[in-house]
Structure 1
Amino acid sequence: MTTPLRRTVLYAALAAGAFVSVFPYLLVVLTAFKTRRQLSTTEPWLPGLPPSTANLAEILGGDFPRFLLNTVVMTALLTLGQLVFTTFAAYAFARLRFRGRDVLFWLYVATMMVPSAVTVIPLFLIMRELEAVNTWYGLLAPYILGTPYGIFLMRQFFKSLPGGLEEAARIDGAGPLTILFRILLPLCRPAIGTLAIITVISSWNSFLWPLIITSGDETKVVTVAISALKVGIGVDRGLMMAGGLIALAPMVAIFIFFQKYIVRSVVLTGLK
């Protein structure tokens, strides 16, 4: 196969893959701007003419903005907690010496092999005994103190840093916290950025735990709110797609403005 033909085949395959990846999002946009009549009279992949903003106006006129704010608060708190507690735990596992350190670390990391669905019921029972069902505490507590993946990622990055930097700081009289904040953390910006991006995306798209632990509007998030957009025994597709479009917009904005850092995070995650 000649080089031009090979390049043409490659670009055609990439274009087909890109179309398959983007097509579901295109359907969300097209469906969100259709009336109920247009949904039944036009093909799903064709736009409704004229476009209608009735679905967006209806969903924004209800409690959906409140659920969107709840999601923003939940994502911000989880991301902040993950960055703080994960960094401290990873530093302890990577740099501090104490008995049973490696055994404790690998036992903790081994919990990544346990599906999250297995732990949902025990977590719910614990939160019920603590009277934390349908509260912000119950929503945040299981995940705000760090995750095995995040601690593993940060620990591996800490261990990749030269040990001589830490030894030189100790000779100058620096303590563990001074070494962490003034020497190691500035060098860990790529790993911190990776962890922040992963946490924001996973927290924003979280569904199973918020669905189980919350039942009132005070703590309901957008994923749960969208799943509840049903009319009788059917589903109002236009309304659900309007909610999905609103929930999708922040993630698209994050990708557009932080594309370079997202690509770097993917590379860093693969290397680690």
Structure 2
Amino acid sequence: MTKRILLYATLTLGAFVAVFPYLLVVLTALKTQSQLNATEPWVPGLPPTTANLTKLLGGEFPRYLLNTVVMTTLLTLGQLVFTTFAAYAFARLRFRGREVLFWLYVATMMVPSAVTMIPLFLIMRELHLVNTWYGLLAPYVLGTPYGIFLMRQFFRGLPAGLEEAARIDGAGPLKILTRILLPLCRPAIGTLTIITVISSWNSFLWPLIITSGDDTKVMTVALATLNSGIGVDYNLMMAGGLIALVPMIAIFIFFQKYIVRSVVLTGLK
């Protein structure tokens, strides 16, 4: 009993530490400037106000939010399509240099993304893609090493007899992939979708570098610009943070089973 009490006390403390920053975001977003100055950060403002949310949503922020939704959707669809095809080729198709090419590609995960930002920007500048949707999406829409590695490992774990039976029946590689293997890959596809959505929604450094106009500005960059002036409005910043946080909370609530499965799957694979 003592061990169990200590275990639950530790878990409760850990959960509180993890949740506390998000609680501060909510409390600060629902305070006025005077309430923020007069109360401790963890004390709710009474009465709570939605003026910060109204002010933020009454400006250009909904446009940036829509840009983020579009970017996240396109990156997720592109990653699912191209990652699946590349992973199937590396896992099932036989061609010269397959293993060398795959491990060279996976080895790029060892390179920090910040190192490649400047070369990527120079390439996009030479192609006249700076401050365009093509430049924003191009480096990541065709797949990532981690996604291809994950899907390849899952493909390799499927029974080869399924493909052999399909080939005997006259099915080609594309039909085998779409009609036989993909329905069996739902756990891996769900994992890849969740990872891509979260990483795309929270993407900041590359959109900050490649975009400058309102047509392509995303939510994370817009929130950062709120901190660039004199006299930062923390209430407004936290209101934007709350708006950015709500979709992620909704994803966790409705897809927590798949998120837990994704953790198990990535750990095993």
TM-score band (shorter)?
Answer: over 0.9
| Offset at residue 206 of structure 1 (A) | 0.1
Deviation track 1:141-173 (CA, whole Å, cap 9, x = no partner) reads 000000000000000000000111111111111
| Deviation string, structure 1 residues 129-149 (Cα, Å, up to 9, x no partner) | 111010000000000000000
Consecutive unaligned residues in structure 2, runs of 5 or more: none
Aligned positions of 1:59-78 closer than 5 A: 59-78=56-75
Please give the alpha-carbon distance, in whole angstroms, between the structure 1 residues aligned to 2:151 and 2:53: 41
Identity of aligned residues (%): 84
* Shift in Å, 1:234: 3.1
Label 1:231 to 1:167 Cα distance change in 2 as closer, same or farther (>3 A): closer
Matching residue of 1:124: 121
Match of 1:16 in 2: 13
> Residues 194-241 of structure 1: CA distance to partner in whole angstroms, max 9, x if unpaired?
000000000000000000000000000110000111373332110000
Is 148-157 or 165-174 further displaced after alignment? 165-174
For 1:190, the aligned partner's letter is P
Aligned partners of 2:268 and 2:228: how far apart in 1? 47
Q: The residue matched to 1:44 in structure 2 has which SS?
A: coil
Could you say what secondary structure the match of 1:192 adopts? helix
Alignment of 1:213-232 (within 5 A): 213-230=210-227, 232=229
- Tell me the CA shift for residue 48 of structure 1: 0.5
Give 1:200's match in structure 2, choosing from 183, 191, 197: 197
The letter for the 2-side match of 1:132 is L
Structure 2 residue aligned with 1:97 = 94
Give, in whole Å, the separation in 2 of the partners of 1:156 and 1:240. Answer: 41
Query: What is the distance in 2 between the residues matched to 1:8 and 1:230?
Result: 43
Instruction: Give the CA RMSD over aligned residues.
Output: 0.7
User: Which stretch has the larger CA shift, 166-175 or 96-105?
Assistant: 166-175
Pick which of 199-208 and 223-232 moved more. Answer: 223-232
Measure, in 1, the Cα distance between the counterparts of 2:125 and 2:75: 21
Q: Distance in 2 between matches of 1:179 and 1:234?
A: 60
Distance 2:7 2:22 in 1: 24
Moved over 6 A (4+): none
Does the alignment pair 1:25 with 2:22? yes
Aligned residue runs from structure 1 range 186-265, under 5 A = 186-230=183-227, 232-265=229-262
5 Å-filtered alignment, 1:33-52, equals 33-52=30-49
2:84 paired with 1:87: yes
TM-score by length of 1: 0.98
Q: How many residues align?
A: 269
- Aligned equivalent of 1:164: 161
Q: Structure 1: any 5+ residue segments left out of the alignment?
A: none
CA–CA separation in structure 2 for the residues paired with 1:126 and 1:63: 30
TM-superposed CA distance for 1:176, in Å, is 0.4
Alpha-carbon distance between aligned partners in 1 of 2:23 and 2:225, rounded to the nearest angstrom: 22
Return the TM-score normalized by structure 2. Answer: 0.99
Distance 1:101 1:261 in 2: 31
